[in-house]
Chains A and B, each alone.
Chain A
Amino acid sequence: MTDHTTDPRTAASARPATASHATETAFLGLGPKDFRLLLIVIALTMLAPFLLNPFPAGSELAQFNAGYPDLMQRFVIFGIFAIGFNILFGLTGYLSFGHAAFLGVGSYAAIWMMKLLTMNVIPAIVLSVIVAGIFALLVGFISLRRSGIYFSILTLAFAQMSYALAYSVLTPITGGETGLQAKINDPRILDPGAGQSLGRANLFGLEMGSSYNLQIGDWSFTFNAGYYLAAIVMLVGFYLAIRLFRSPFGMMLRAVKSNQQRMNYTGLNSRPYTLAAFVISGMYAGLAGGLMVAMDTQVGPERMFWTASGEVVLMTILGGAGTLIGPVLGAGMIKYMENIVSKINDNILHQWFSFLPDGLEDALVAIVYPFIGKGWNLTLGIVFMLVVIFLPGGLVQGGQKVARLFRRNNRKGGGAESEAAKKQPAE
């Protein structure tokens, strides 16, 4: 390389660019922008019990509160699932339609650890990641021989196969239709109290189900140990995903998506890159499965059903495939609708519209009714269609559009000064 740096013309033109484009590392090996994003996500997840419970407990709007442990846990666990899926789909463009299989396999591995070893969640979670990774290696090795729709079908076939096997032939390992639960007579060789009482999932004694309730006025906030464990795991997963996105490996994955032909003729073997991405994303799915078991010690084969695989695809696309935060947002949105919109029933609707004359009230309720309760899927479908048509970049693109709108308005107010201020950091 000395020949390039000694070339005076090259060196001169390269130097100013180097100064401005060298990424300053803010902290933890992240650029300033990514670090800010990480801080925001940390704040959101840590304060979630407050943020998700904005309405007083007894009020009519309390049904929109999502700050209860079960749902908050699902937010972050599916967030992990979607972050992992996005590493494969968002970066390489390979659409796996069987990712729930890894989630399921991870869950089974975790419950077996809890049955055989200990109710401490650490071995369960670790094994779920390892087993899912190995399974992903096998599935990926075969499926990645094809691309496009054929790849999707292969992964779907594997997942449905796993589902069917778990349901039938593998009953001794999977418990078949009834699934597996923690039981009193599990061996749990590392637990002192095994055999006498039903163990509870714990982290070195801290039970995952234990919660602390904070009462402020009419508001009630729940801080759940399980949620915070899952949230911390998600933050680690999110941090690792950012690092991966900004790494040479991440760049190569985007190259796979962009032009595989050029990649091969550039001396790069795309297969190991896609396989590594597949395994990593399978491990994220396994991690999510392990955490599910840690929060609620039971597994059933329906966790691997194709609709579960489809759900994570929806989450990622809804939030914004290929973006860092998008999949987490998508996961949150879908889980919120699934749990909150589905709870609204016609009685609640009648209450809302009770100020209207009777006939009009009934008519409105009749119109809205198909979209709530069991009809939440219809609402989700419409939201999904709207997002795909108007915001192909997902909710993240929507956010960017809104931000740009605000900035434009600001600029009108601030005039030339704010314009100059905006240019400064870009240089």
Chain B
Amino acid sequence: MGILEVKNVGKRFGGLKALDNVNLSVQENTVHAIIGPNGAGKSTLLNCLIGKLIPDTGSVMFDGQSVLGRKPHEINQMGISRVFQTPEIFGDLTVFENVMIPIFARRDGAFALHAFKQVMNDRDIRERTEAMLADVNMLDKRDAHAASLSRGDKRRLEMAMCLSQQPKLLLLDEPTAGMARADTNNTIDLLKEIKAKRDITMCIIEHDMHVVFSLAERITVLAQGTPLVEDVPDNIKGHPKVREAYLGTAH
């Protein structure tokens, strides 16, 4: 049984069937990609996984527990971290503080009223933050304002923030959308590096086939709200159903 089990999930927006009977099983320690043409329901599916949307039917189980009806911060506390299409970071804060916050959240839970300790006097948190920044080669930018970073560094920082929580599952929503080829390749390298260093399950939603085939160990193809095929990348490449979904049936 996989770490993430999606069973018979359906979601309607008015008359539009965004998801129809989706089944998905993500195995532990794999990189699982969900691909599909525009409007296939990729983002809707992702939003169902992280608590932003509640599906009309079906169940989503993570690590043996249902995530449905839980708030985003509760789902994160279960061990799911999310990387956004455009990096979501704390722009007004320094790089160092950006990484400290998720570490605090992992250690102290969703709310802790530590109003009279000094942040920087917390040795344990400080050391973990330094180690994490060293891990992604950002220690030299520790005092920079996060908003002043380059796009690539923002992505790197967001990744560091997610990884610092040691999540069981990392969800990536089009991590290379809108990036130049060089940045895309950097992101791919970063993700490969991350995967090589630790046991982590990743679920990537992606448009860019180059990214998908460089990273994924398993691929689910979504079209019109239903999974078409699920297989290893090599079998997906030439799959007639996939071609049809992407290129249309006009022969």
Whether the Cβ atoms of A255 and B90 lie closer than 8 Å is: yes
Q: Is B165 an interface residue (CB 8 A)?
A: yes
Closest to B78 in A: A267
Among B113, B116, B128, B139, point to the contact of A4 (Cβ < 8 A). Answer: B128
Among A17, A18, A248, point to the contact of B112 (Cβ < 8 A). Answer: A248
- In the complex, which residues of chain B have a beta carbon less than 8 angstroms from the beta carbon of A23? 118, 120-121
Complex CA–CA separation, A282 to B84 (angstroms): 36
Q: Is A355 an interface residue (CB 8 A)?
A: no
Name the interface residues of A21-77: CB closer than 8 Å to any CB of B.
Answer: 21-23, 25, 29, 31
Closest to A16 in B: B139
Complex CA–CA separation, A262 to B93 (angstroms): 13
- B30 to chain A: closest CB distance in Å? 22
Which bucket holds chain A's interface residue count?
35 or more
Q: Is A215 an interface residue (CB 8 A)?
A: no
Among B73, B109, B120, point to the contact of A264 (Cβ < 8 A). Answer: B73
Among B113, B118, B135, B142, point to the contact of A246 (Cβ < 8 A). Answer: B118
Complex CA–CA separation, A262 to B72 (angstroms): 10
Among A248, A254, A258, A276, point to the contact of B104 (Cβ < 8 A). Answer: A248
Interface centre among A240, A248, A259 (most CB of B within 10 A): A248
- B160 to chain A: closest CB distance in Å? 12
Interface residues as binary, A244-255 with B (CB distance below 8 Å gives 1, 0 otherwise): 101111111011
Whether the Cβ atoms of B92 and A254 lie closer than 8 Å is: yes
Q: Is A257 an interface residue (CB 8 A)?
A: yes
Interface residues as binary, B98-117 with A (CB distance below 8 Å gives 1, 0 otherwise): 00111011101111111111
Among B50, B73, B116, B134, point to the contact of A268 (Cβ < 8 A). Answer: B73
- In the complex, which residues of chain A have a beta carbon less than 8 angstroms from the beta carbon of B97? 251, 254-255
User: With A267-B76, A268-B105 in contact, do A247 and B119 touch (Cβ < 8 Å)?
Assistant: yes
Name the interface residues of B19-77: CB closer than 8 Å to any CB of A.
Answer: 50, 71-73, 76-77
- B41 to chain A: closest CB distance in Å? 21
Q: Is B222 an interface residue (CB 8 A)?
A: no
Whether the Cβ atoms of A31 and B105 lie closer than 8 Å is: no
Q: Is B205 an interface residue (CB 8 A)?
A: no
Closest to A259 in B: B90
- In the complex, which residues of chain A have a beta carbon less than 8 angstroms from the beta carbon of B113? 249, 276
Whether the Cβ atoms of A244 and B126 lie closer than 8 Å is: no
Q: Is A196 an interface residue (CB 8 A)?
A: no
Q: Is A7 an interface residue (CB 8 A)?
A: yes
Interface centre among A243, A248, A262, A267 (most CB of B within 10 A): A267
Whether the Cβ atoms of B50 and A265 lie closer than 8 Å is: yes
- In the complex, which residues of chain B have a beta carbon less than 8 angstroms from the beta carbon of A251? 93, 97, 100-101, 104, 119
Q: Is B82 an interface residue (CB 8 A)?
A: yes
Closest to A256 in B: B90
- In the complex, which residues of chain B have a beta carbon less than 8 angstroms from the beta carbon of A280? 115
Interface centre among A4, A5, A13, A262 (most CB of B within 10 A): A262
Complex CA–CA separation, A22 to B125 (angstroms): 12
Interface residues as binary, A209-245 with B (CB distance below 8 Å gives 1, 0 otherwise): 0000000000000000000000000000000100110
Whether the Cβ atoms of B88 and A262 lie closer than 8 Å is: yes
Complex CA–CA separation, A243 to B114 (angstroms): 10
Q: Is A416 an interface residue (CB 8 A)?
A: no
Complex CA–CA separation, A276 to B82 (angstroms): 27
Whether the Cβ atoms of B88 and A261 lie closer than 8 Å is: yes
Q: A7-B131, A254-B92 are in contact. List 18 more A-B contacts (CB 8 A).
A: A14-B134, A18-B127, A246-B119, A246-B120, A248-B108, A248-B112, A248-B117, A249-B112, A254-B90, A254-B93, A254-B97, A255-B90, A255-B101, A265-B88, A266-B73, A266-B161, A268-B111, A272-B110
25 A/B residue pairs, CB under 8 Å, sorted by A? A4-B131, A14-B130, A14-B139, A21-B126, A29-B116, A244-B116, A246-B120, A247-B115, A247-B118, A247-B119, A248-B112, A248-B122, A249-B114, A249-B115, A250-B119, A251-B104, A258-B93, A259-B89, A265-B84, A267-B109, A267-B165, A268-B101, A269-B71, A270-B73, A273-B111
8 cross-chain pairs, A with B, having the tightest CB-CB distances, nearest first: A267-B76, A4-B131, A14-B130, A269-B110, A258-B90, A258-B92, A262-B88, A267-B105
Spell out B's residues near A (CB within 8 Å): 50, 71-73, 76-77, 81-82, 84, 88-93, 97, 100-102, 104-106, 108-122, 124, 126-128, 130-131, 134-135, 139, 142, 161, 165
Spell out A's residues near B (CB within 8 Å): 1, 4-5, 7, 9-10, 13-14, 17-18, 21-23, 25, 29, 31, 240, 243-244, 246-252, 254-255, 257-259, 261-270, 272-273, 276, 280
